[in-house]
Amino acid sequence: MTLLENQDHEWLNSRIEAYLDGDLSESDRVRFELLMEAEKTIWEDVNLANQIVATLRNVRDEACPDYVLAGVMSHVRSDLRRSAWAQVQSFFLRLNAAHLKPAFAVVVLFLMVFTSTQIGKPAKESPMAVAQALDDVKWTLAFLSEAGRTTGSTVKSDVIEDQVVGPMSRNFPSKSEN
Amino acid sequence: MNPVEFNLCVKQHQNRVFSFCAHLLGDKELAADVTQDVFIKLWEHKIRLDPDRLIGWLLTVARNSCIDSMRRKKVRRSVKETDDFSLDSLSSDEIGPDRLASNEIFSVRLKRALDTLGEPFKSIVVLREIQDYKYEEISEVLNLPLNTVKVYLHRARKALREALKNELMEATDHDFA
């Protein structure tokens, strides 16, 4: 049997949370504690409420599984790749945009004119290249001269001596022989 | 936010978000999926948030995702599923074996009672009593007025007490039977 009036019981019941949170005024807190001592069920409720709060506050944060971070970062990397590719695509799309077409045509025209002015124009001479070319010519002429000299002496010894000089000597004896 | 900063941000907040989701859903695997989605949303929205307000934004998105997930998959939480967080994560420092056993039984019953709470009562209890957020922070996460948060928390605690008293009475009846 409760020792309290109904209104006291209701008053207590509605203030359990405020009492636990320390939100009651000093006079209310004193009244609450006096009434609580007289009412066992309220005392049990306060005890249970304390136990609930204490138990919940002992629950620690769970460690998040490693695959969550791995999955998130994998998404970030693929997103970065996608956005880099999108930037390249948008650059080319902008290049193809209508207002850039005339500029592109001017560049092409300039390249065509420049190329045509270069056709048939003699290459610029560099002093090194000229010296090298003259050297090559000298060596070529020297080689040809040597080749001519060798060929001439061979012809003289192999053909002219035997076939021309010999018979002529025989047919026209020298004055000393006469 | 560049990828390096983002990586640090995920490492800093992932346990908090994951725990919150695990408490709301009562399913670690589903909580991990929701946590991953929350951080992907943060990256995709390219939001520049004040670091102090970031966790609030993450918890708001996590809660909405959990509610969507519960609606979509119609999670039916069995006792086995709901027990895992309370038994695994309850601090057992400086508690004797008998006390620990009774604490575990109590925490199982408490978790069961917590699962009977609807939204936003459950979120308020998790944020206030388990994750130790201030009323102002909870009000911001849940987008509720401060006084409403306080009133809802009081109602949720009362509901928990009633549910636990019923559990204890049923257990006592069962023992006598």
Q: Determine whether A8 is exposed, middle or buried from the number of CB atoms within 10 Å of its CB (0-12, 13-18, 19+).
A: middle
Q: How far is CA B23 from CA A72, A99, B20, B125, B148, in A?
A: 21, 58, 5, 10, 22
Question: B76 pLDDT band (50/70/90 cuts)?
Answer: low
What is the average per-residue pLDDT within B149-166?
A: 86
The whole-angstrom separation of Cα B45 and Cα A79 is 12
**pLDDT over threshold 80, residue B137:** yes
Q: How far is CA A110 from CA A99, A105, A114, in A?
A: 18, 9, 6
Cross-chain CB nearest to B161 (options A48, A55, A72): A48
Cβ of B15 under 8 Å from any chain A Cβ?
Answer: yes
Our count of domains for chain B comes to: 2
Q: Which residues pair with A59 in a beta bridge?
A: B90
Contacts of B11 in chain A (CB under 8 A): 69
In a domain, B83, yes or no: no
The whole-angstrom separation of Cα A167 and Cα B84 is 130
In a domain, B24, yes or no: yes
The ipTM (two decimal places) reads 0.73
The whole-angstrom separation of Cα A4 and Cα A7 is 8
Q: pTM surpassing 0.95? A: no
Q: How far is CA B25 from CA A72, B29, B152, in A?
A: 21, 10, 20
Cross-chain CB nearest to A52 (options B18, B132, B157): B157
Q: Are residues B104 and B69 in the same domain?
A: no
Q: Which residues pair with B90 in a beta bridge?
A: A59
For residue B52, the enclosing domain spans: 3-73
In a domain, B103, yes or no: yes
B154, B166, B167: best to mutate for the A interface, most A CBs within 10 A:
B154
In a domain, B84, yes or no: no
Question: B101 pLDDT band (50/70/90 cuts)?
Answer: low
